[in-house]
Structure 1
């Protein structure tokens, strides 16, 4: 555990954020603040137990010293020496106990300070107030990244709306506190009820085509994200890959980002309405189709599973981590996302996840919630400089380019940071390092709205999709064997 206070300085041990690793800013995992805090609590509990044991030994030593008093007259010199030796031993035990007790008190003080800071920050966030002017540690002057700016604005939607209505700032802050941070899930559901936006409501998603082939698959984080780019070149497709895992067979589900065009309107489950289904309705319809795809590919009950998603696909992937039907049938071990707003999604305990974001990518901040800092959840923010693409290729911005995230994933694999090494090792423990694998590519289609007939098209004949990856940058089309 990282200590901000050097040993012997007299101050309590403090948790500290891990230092940046080049262009990678890391949160969570075994080097994260939350896990360090858990270590502090475990250490305090262990110290309390040890202090109690030493108190017992100290009491027994004093009892032995008193029991020797009647025998001192039998041999004054040896009796006195024995009494003195036992007394000195008892005092030494008392010194050690006192030192451990002080350390335990310092750890408990750190715990109280941490809890107070967390409660205060939660209150300020609920009021829509946060930043250095409210007591945060000062930071070097810098322009806010697109991701943080969007996340902050969405988190403060209640207060922002009050200000737009012309209410005084104090009253706007009170209304923001009463309303709390923006509930994006509820906002999406409310929007779907508005006239003209009924297309945002989820509809059943089914499998309309499948192809199976063998291929050499790179199962590193970078390789898996590049596969998401290749899958995204065809409308409404996902991949279900059977791999020889490190310990036993495992499956990898690859889910693409948002796609524009390529199928009749409303038929592609990964069109913009798919974002509404993911954020507002927990991917209910898409998760059913993914589970059916796993069953058709041959995944057996209890098999290990890894979910990988880019942008919208990352939201679907994280939602699998709390889908009861999926978790009842498969052992979801790991989720990998890139450029996805998933801070408001909490998977079931024990599911590991690794999230890539770029400070200039606004999409990961679109839910207004930062990813939690936990033992099982690691978030990496890329800070590398970006080149502005031509306007026609701007898409959702240069920060959202999948190729940039794939390059960042390669840096993660090479990193020596403890949190990243632990996270990538957890992924490799499930899927191995790569090699020959069986790839099942499924075509999914969303059911037409009542009164809106459409041509489903023939499986395998879909025109290429224009997805958010392609609009932000280009990737070479993956080769099939």
Structure 2
């Protein structure tokens, strides 16, 4: 437990956020505040159990002392000494019990203060209150925390919209508080019902082809993320890798980021409509196609599974972690995402996850929800300075580039931080360290539907190696939409 007050210092136990590890800012996991509180509360519960035992000892000691009273007259000196000794022992037990009880009360009081602070901060955010008293609001798009700024804007959208409609500030703030944080899922569903946006509605996704081969696979976090870039070059593909896990056969599913071009318009499940399906509809059809791909690759019920996704692919990967059909069939153990807005997705029991974000990448904050700080969920925010590219190569910003996240993942693997070592060890326990593996690449296609309206073409985009004509290569197109 990081920076806890020593037990013999007389101070109240306190929980602190883990320190930054170089350019890595870490939340969650075994060093996270929530888990530290879980440990403290578990310790408080253990102390309370010990206190109850000591209370029983006190009662028993007092009963023994009273039982000695009739024998005091038989031998006054020895009888009195025995009564005094038992009484002193009982009082010593009482003093220890009182100290332990005070420690337990201090721990629980500290927890209540933390919960109060979190509730207060959440309420102030919903009310849109900022300033020196409440905590200074960041300037719009002020580097280096673009991600946090966008997340705050999205979270406060109901109150902001009320203000834009001309409602007085107190009324707008009240609207924001009553509405709560922005429900991005509902907004996406509402948008898909709007005229001209019917193409955003999910449609069935099927397997159009597959290619199986053997390859030397790097199963580190950096290696897995780089495979997400490679599999995303031709449109509409995912990758299923069979590996020899620590104790039984395991599988890795690699899901790419957003793609434009390549497949006939509207049939690539990872196009703009794929974002809508991921954010608004829990990746229902894409998840079904992934389950079918696992079955065709040879996965059997009970096999271990790891899901890896970049940007849009990370949302699909996290949606797998709560997909009842997939969880009933396979043992999904770990999810790795990079540059993905997944704060509002709660994984099923036993699923660990590692999320990479960059403070200059606005995409992870697009859902307006901070990733929860829990024992099995680790979020690493990269803070390394980035070179701003020329406007024609800017895309979604330098922070969102896949190679930047792969470099960050390499730093995660090399870190000596206890939280990161625990998270990467959890991944390695499922997939091992790498080597020759069987790889199957599946081509997925969405059922044709209405064409998008108002979505501009991508003029001058050059396909990457092996990409069909018109394909916008992930992370390299001057004008393409990435992630």
- Could you state the TM-score of these two structures normalised by the residue count of structure 2? 0.92
In structure 2, the gaps of 5 or more residues are 453-465
* CA displacement 1:163-187 (0-9 Å, x = unmatched): 2222221111011112111100011
In structure 1, the gaps of 5 or more residues are 453-459, 474-481
Residue matched to 1:38: 38
Q: Distance in 2 between matches of 1:12 and 1:3?
A: 12
* CA displacement 1:118-145 (0-9 Å, x = unmatched): 222332233344675326899xxx8551
Q: Distance in 1 between matches of 2:257 and 2:65?
A: 76
> How far apart are 1:10 and its partner, in Å?
3.7
Map of 1:66-81 to 2, 5 A cutoff?
66-81=66-81
Q: Distance in 1 between matches of 2:107 and 2:43?
A: 8
Residue matched to 1:377: 377
Structure 2 vs 1, CA of residues 471 and 130 (structure 1 numbering), >3 Å: closer, same or farther?
A: farther
Asked if the contact 1:400–1:472 (Cα under 8 Å) also holds between the matched residues in 2, the reply is no
Query: What's the Cα RMSD here?
Result: 2.2
* CA displacement 1:16-58 (0-9 Å, x = unmatched): 1111000000000011011111112111111111111101101
Residue matched to 2:471: 465
Residue matched to 1:115: 115
Residue matched to 2:147: 147
| Corresponding residue pairs, total | 464
Q: Distance in 2 between matches of 1:236 and 1:56?
A: 68
Secondary structure at 1:466's aligned position in 2?
A: coil
Runs of 4+ displaced beyond 3 Å: 3-11, 128-133, 135-138, 460-465
Structure 2 vs 1, CA of residues 323 and 356 (structure 1 numbering), >3 Å: closer, same or farther?
A: same
Residue matched to 2:227: 227
Residue matched to 1:403: 403
* CA displacement 1:460-479 (0-9 Å, x = unmatched): 98447324433489xxxxxx
- Could you state the TM-score of these two structures normalised by the residue count of structure 1? 0.92
Structure 2 vs 1, CA of residues 450 and 144 (structure 1 numbering), >3 Å: closer, same or farther?
A: closer
Structure 2 vs 1, CA of residues 472 and 241 (structure 1 numbering), >3 Å: closer, same or farther?
A: farther
> How far apart are 1:81 and its partner, in Å?
1.9
Structure 2 vs 1, CA of residues 416 and 461 (structure 1 numbering), >3 Å: closer, same or farther?
A: closer
Structure 2 vs 1, CA of residues 416 and 451 (structure 1 numbering), >3 Å: closer, same or farther?
A: closer
> How far apart are 1:86 and its partner, in Å?
1.2
1:14 aligns with 2:19: no
Residue matched to 1:455: none
Q: Distance in 2 between matches of 1:472 and 1:360?
A: 19
Residue matched to 2:49: 49
Q: Distance in 2 between matches of 1:16 and 1:472?
A: 43
1:446 aligns with 2:452: no
Q: Distance in 2 between matches of 1:210 and 1:50?
A: 61
* CA displacement 1:380-427 (0-9 Å, x = unmatched): 000000011222221110000111101110111111111111111110
